[in-house]
Chains A and B, each alone.
Chain A
Amino acid sequence: MPRMGPSFAETPMTAAIGSTGTGGRVVSSPRAAWLRVEGHWQWYRRHWHATVFSGIAQPVLFLVAMGIGFGSQVEPSTATRGMSYLVYLAPALLVTGALQNAVGESTYPVLSGFKWQKDYLAVVATPITPGQLLAGQLIWVAMLVSGNGLAYLLIASLFGALAGPGVLLSLLVAVLTAMACSAPIMALSASINNDVNVFNGLFRFVVMPMTLFAGTFFPVTQLPGWAQPVVWLTPLWHGTELSRGAAFGELGLWPAAGHLAYLAGLFTIGVLLARWRFRRRLVV
């Protein structure tokens, strides 16, 4: 080893660096995606507190304000399936919260990977491919949303808002609904460059109206006839139907299969679109 001055002589890497052949290797696709999740976990360890409000506190605040506060004025009826308004609302807010959480994680943070921080460019300079990067991104959002959903359920149980153990099935439904939205929105985020107004429009004109009118707070049968088919197109309606069904144990097989097929279909199309857009953006 050549001696190269005092500051460098104490560096042990001199012998290790270079064409030693001890370097990188290609890992399998599931492993590659998981390594990306590991990277997110490193971020989460330092910055988890930044995610608590949007992921946990927000749905809990809605549960308190609407479920307990407003709900104190609501008599149990057929509209609430005979339950207290709080219990009626809790499984739907689980889905709504998960969906909003996932949409948030799939917009600015994803665009930043391409555009501002550009860390996606760093990832695909390694053996990791754009598709594996996307998979890691999706798995991470699913894990984050699951964890936040579980925290929400624990808090909701303290308020006596949970009907029974069926809500654990509701949690799976919430994650599926969230991912059915996350995947196509990641495709969108990979496709825009300067026009972040698209995100504002998405929140204002899609997510917000969906939250208000797609069955979270009141049955869609209360809407005018023309509006109901519009609601049927929203993933949130399918998610809340499934979630309440699972929580209250009163969902028929065929409706459940229909809702699941819709959400799974949206997720699949979203993943295919996102894979195509990620590749187009990163391999040019």
Chain B
Amino acid sequence: MITKTKIIGLMLFFLGPWSFAEEAPLLAKDPVLEARVKAISLELRCLVCQNQTIADSNAGLAVDLKNQVRDMLREGMNETQIKDFMVERYGDFVLYDPPIKGTTMVLWAGPLLMLFIAFWFSVRFVRRRSRNPDAYKSAEDIDRARALLKD
């Protein structure tokens, strides 16, 4: 019996260590849960870091908060509840996705508003321009540019 195992062991040895090759275990016991933890962590700010999400940071607090997120998900809480939990303790500062409320109205509406204003101005400008009578002036300009560049 003993010799048999020895022989098998010897055979395996000559086959090289690669024959032991086995798939490495995933770090996370529950990959689905881990994916959710990551998705939420990516939107939470690590307060002690310069400007990083808790997903990207290995600081003590970031690790604690990731564990907290994991625990809360295990307890069956959803993303909103977890974010509320964080905001209760650290304020809106912890959210990379700023909530829509009174103080962030300008932030969220700003781009759209700017777009409207800019297009309104441009359309007015183009309308006026398509009726512009002094086109010859610019032709003169172009000629002068050419003349200058020839020098």
Verify that A and B bind, or say they do not: no
